Amino acid sequence: MGYKAYVFDAYGTLFDVHSVMERIHDHFPDKGEQISQEWRSRQVHYFLVRQLVQGYVPFSDITHWALKDALRYSGASVDSDVTEDLMKQYEKLQPYKEVHDLSDRNPDKTLTIFSNGTRAMLEPLLANNQLESSFDLLSADDPKVYKPHPKAYQHAQEELGFEKDEILFFSSNPWDITGAASYGFHTAWVNRNDDKWPELGI
């Protein structure tokens, strides 16, 4: 298949969401892993709930709420200075080792990030990792609908200007792969943790 565009999810696919763990540990020794895991789990849960009730809010709000609840659940204090510091760390997530080479290895492809994150979250993330020239950027905040809703992928396709079968979509998140595949994109599951594909009937 002669794909014209490679489209990538950001969080968990190109960038390690748990690279915040060391900073969390600075504030809460011995709680870094628990808080990081809870933060990510609640972030995904909360935006899915908001999507189901058609109550869109920016992903930055979701991420902030998920952090505060993760801290409370883990028995850590919820201090505004600490939460602000940890939120800033989301703009400094570490890319996986192969990410910096993607544009050089695929000079004939359009490389685009399509994320639930807002542009205000994603643009500093790319800049802090010297990746702003490597990827075009699409955000679900523009149509105000989260992946995995089909309207989110429709927005991405319309912005890209390619046919569905000319797009290969990469994500580490099964819910994202499920949404993209259901919409009609070709997909590649970036299985970073050697997980079993969930029984979703897809």
User: Any idea which residues carry the catalytic annotation?
Assistant: 9
Half-sphere exposure of 162 (CA within 13 A, CB side): 22
- Give the SS3 label for residue 169: strand
Sole residue written with tokens 């900073």: 23
- Kindly give, in sequence order, each residue whose CB lies less than 8 Å from that of residue 103, ignoring residues fewer than 6 positions away: 111, 133, 134, 135
- Kindly give, in sequence order, each residue whose CB lies less than 8 Å from that of residue 157, ignoring residues fewer than 6 positions away: 164, 167, 183, 185
Count the neighbouring beta carbons within 10 Å of the beta carbon of residue 153.
26
